[in-house]
Amino acid sequence: MRAFMVEKYGGQAGMRAAEIPDPQVGADDVLVKIHAASVNPLDLRIRNGDFKAFMPYRLPLVLGNDLAGEVLQVGSSVTRFAVGDEVYARPDKDRIGTFAELLAVHQDDLAPKPATLTMTEAASLPLVALTAWQALVERARVQPGQKVLIHAGAGGLGSIAVQLAKALGAYVATTASTTTIGLVKELGADVAVDYRTQDFTEILDGYDVVLDSLGGNNLARSLRVLKPGGMAISVAGPPDPAFARELGANPVLRLAMTALSSKTRRQAKRLGVTYSFLFMKASGDQLRELTPLIDAGKIRPLVDCVFPFDETLQAMEYVEKGRAKAGKVVVSMT
């Protein structure tokens, strides 16, 4: 089969198209013919080697973290799927590789594709939808009437998180560029802050939850808009001790992660709030919980543009250079 491989860490020069053997299908695996896959900032970070200290992938590696497609074969222990089913998934972090024609996915990580979506739309959702769910539902336990700030509301994660927060009954603020203010309000944002002309810390106050996808100074400033007892959840900030434990990291790595996040955690403690790092996990069950919201129109995917499979490297460059105006960039195999 054809696939796009990372042969060495560093950048675009370390990737190439290749012909590789078809995947082996285990007892609990589902072999999926991939119709579409989407590009995430996570793909760029894995390609660049940002996670090699605590997620040491064996190179060469097929990249890609989202898929939508059709079941071609099921393992002997598979009970949830049959040949011909249309599915979507974010494979487990140890079994990524959606920039390929085929992928064997554990049945627990897979879900039926929402009936109302095309393959292209469905491929844009799993990673960001699961991240939003795990941040807002699983970790923050957002309740109706709570105030939630979601940064970059027109982005891949932000656009889904804004809609999910509204579906949960929250009062939602977001940051956006001048050109996407109207869009994020259409998605349900109650307050839209133009980050180019406004300072969100001067406008927002008393928030229960912040979902940060930018890290750095943006995360530090976000802590100040939380009310006492509030929580900042970041997918771009420094890993914390809880993540190190979850990962089963060795003592040296645990110490390093504790040190990396110590400044942020101290700042949060001084303000009477908490900081939490999130690295999302694959979950077919959570995708199943999201599907009714999608089919009811409460969550709709935003697709910025679609590249043919042969132009996967150009799609990654498009994302890396920040050319996407809103939503996700998708690679289509068909």
pLDDT tens, residue by residue, 210-250: 999 999 999 999 999 999 999 999 999 998 888 878 877 78
What pLDDT, on the 0 to 100 scale, is given for residue 55?
75
Residues 113 and 197 both lie in one domain: no
- Whether residue 149 is found in the same domain as residue 40: no
- Ramachandran class of 93: left when φ > 0, alpha when ψ lies in -120 to 50, beta otherwise: alpha
Cα–Cα distance for residue pair 37/89, rounded to 1 Å: 10
Instruction: Report the pLDDT averaged over residues 109-138.
Output: 98
Residue 288 lies in a domain: no
Tell me: do 159 and 269 sit in the same domain. Answer: yes
Same structural domain for residues 157 and 266? yes
CATH code of residue 15: 3.90.180.10
Residue-averaged pLDDT of the chain: 95
Return the CATH number at 216.
3.40.50.720
Q: Are residues 139 and 258 in the same domain?
A: yes
Q: Is 176 in contact with 153 (CB distance < 8 Å)?
A: yes
Residue 219 is assigned to a structural domain of this protein? yes
> Do residues 104 and 221 both lie within one domain?
no
On whether both 46 and 114 belong to a single domain, the answer is yes
- Give kind and range of the element (H or E) at residue 216: helix 216-222
Pair (97, 224) in one structural domain:
no
Tokens of 291: 């599907």
Q: Into how many domains does the chain fold?
A: 2
- pLDDT tens string 3-31: 999 999 998 899 999 999 999 999 999 99
Q: Give the pTM.
A: 0.96
Domain that holds residue 324: 2-125+301-332
Residues 133 and 120 both lie in one domain: no
Is residue 286 domain-resident?
no
- Residue 284 inside a domain? The answer is no
Looking at the fold, whether 273 and 146 belong to one and the same domain comes out as yes
Residue 194 and residue 143 in one domain? yes
Q: Convert 55-112 into a string of H (helix), E (strand) and C (coil).
A: CCCCCCEECCCCEEEEEEEECCCCCCCCCCCEEEECCCHHHCCCCECEEEEEHHHEEE
139 lies in the same domain as 251: yes
Question: Using the 8-state DSSP alphabet, how is residue 257 labeled?
Answer: H
CA distance 62 to 142: 36
